[in-house]
Amino acid sequence: MKAAPSLHQGTTFTVAYRVKCGVRRGSPSDTGFASHIMSLEEDPIESDLKSQGRPTAGSPVLSQNDREVAVFARDLTKVFGSFVAVDHVSFDVYKGEIFGFLGPNGAGKTTTIKILCGLLTPTSGSAGVSGWDVATQPDEIKQTIGYMSQRFTLYEDLTVRENLDFFGGVYGLKAAKKAERDQWVLKMAGLSGMEDTLTGALALGWKQRLALGCAVLHEPPVLFLDEPTSGVDPLSRRSFWDLINELAGKGVTVFVTTHYMEEAEYCRRLALMGRGRIIAMGTPGELKTKLMTESVIEIECGDLMRAAGLLEPEPLFTETAIFGNRLHIVTPDPHAAMERAGRRLEEAGISVDRIQVITASLEDVFVTLTAHDSK
């Protein structure tokens, strides 16, 4: 096996390296792998500040409540031509926090993450990760973070061990440290004894655990996860989140996007994006109690699609949506809404098995707020 190229100070390392001779098949996409393009050249001004004992980039940023801020954005904006993808977004993410970033497709989530990872330059506003500025120090950010996307970005035609060797080389880990981290990843991912298994032969859940291990091989203080459990079965998702909680417990800051509302419940705080803006932010409990000012009624009935059409939004039915095999209606007057909905369905010949007021779920909040934002 070829040794990974060494990373020398002042050298830009572009990931064209393939573990084993020649160019291998199954290369990760440029998008998922761009965060591994690193430059290690030290800024002479930075070096001079260090010699004077003065604060430098990368030093802790404190919020008003004296909690260490790992990731922040202030009026962050990104414009492509006439399209505003990110519109004056502001937030703080604290050290060791699991911060959820939710929103429908096209809401600006991925663009925001690309800016925070140093892959895009903002049009205006500011943002920082671990004390580094996204506009002026993107290379330092790329060395500081771990990144895992919804697209599997390991080499499927390499073994588990070879993928670890590759990432260890990319991150410039010394032999002793790499051996230690390799063992940690194998144990964490449950892959001990499977080091020589082709990655492509692993089940999706095991692949994602290995991808997470490779993303944190260099022990980054901040980890970005872009829909990391997409397509993974529920049991594997739960196991994956156990690992995320373990990392957060050790002080790693986790910035995660997900489309699974039950996963959003695991986050300490959530930001909900809509049309490039943050339309709500808070803990899962706060979003369900403080922002959901109206009631939710749940209906179990026959012919769900026709029932949803009959109960389209009107003044009494603020929002109507199908949730699995049930219908949810958001309403300012639950008792009147239950009576009207039951009568309307009965007149249409649709049997109603159950109708009741329920506690709003995060999915109800998500559907209601995004629907209001689009109006």
Identify whether 41 is part of a domain.
yes
CA 345 – CA 310 distance, rounded (Å): 8
Average pLDDT, the chain: 84
Residues 34 and 131 in one domain: yes
Residues in the chain where the model's pLDDT stays below 50: 1-57
Q: 322-343 pLDDT, tens per residue?
A: 998 999 999 999 999 999 999 9
Residues 235 and 342 in one domain: no
Q: Please, what is the end-to-end C-alpha distance for the chain in angstroms? A: 58
Identify whether 56 is part of a domain.
yes
CATH code, domain carrying 327: 3.30.70.100
Domain containing residue 337: 293-359
Q: How many domains does the chain have?
A: 2
Residues 228 and 155 in one domain: yes
Identify whether 371 is part of a domain.
no
Residues 279 and 165 in one domain: yes
Out of 262, 290, 318, a domain closes at: 290
Residues 343 and 319 in one domain: yes
Identify whether 372 is part of a domain.
no
Residues 106 and 31 in one domain: yes
- Nearest-10 crossing angle of helices 160-170, 175-189: 130
DSSP codes joined into one string, 346-375:
HHTT--EEEEEEEPPPHHHHHHHHHHHHH-
Residues 9 and 156 in one domain: yes
Identify whether 348 is part of a domain.
yes
CATH code, domain carrying 178: 3.40.50.300
CA 235 – CA 18 distance, rounded (Å): 33
Residues 33 and 158 in one domain: yes
Residues 132 and 29 in one domain: yes
Give the model's pLDDT for residue 268: 96
Residues 330 and 318 in one domain: yes
Give the model's pLDDT for residue 273: 93
Measure the CA dihedral 208/209/214/216, to 10°.
120
Identify whether 373 is part of a domain.
no
- Nearest-10 crossing angle of helices 160-170, 204-215: 20
Identify whether 370 is part of a domain.
no
Residues ≥6 apart with Cβ < 8 Å to 253: 70, 71, 93, 94, 95, 96, 97, 99, 221, 222, 223
Identify whether 366 is part of a domain.
no
Residues 273 and 315 in one domain: no
Q: Tell me if 207 sits within 8 A of 152, measured CB to CB.
A: yes
Residues 274 and 339 in one domain: no
At 70, list the tokens.
């790992």
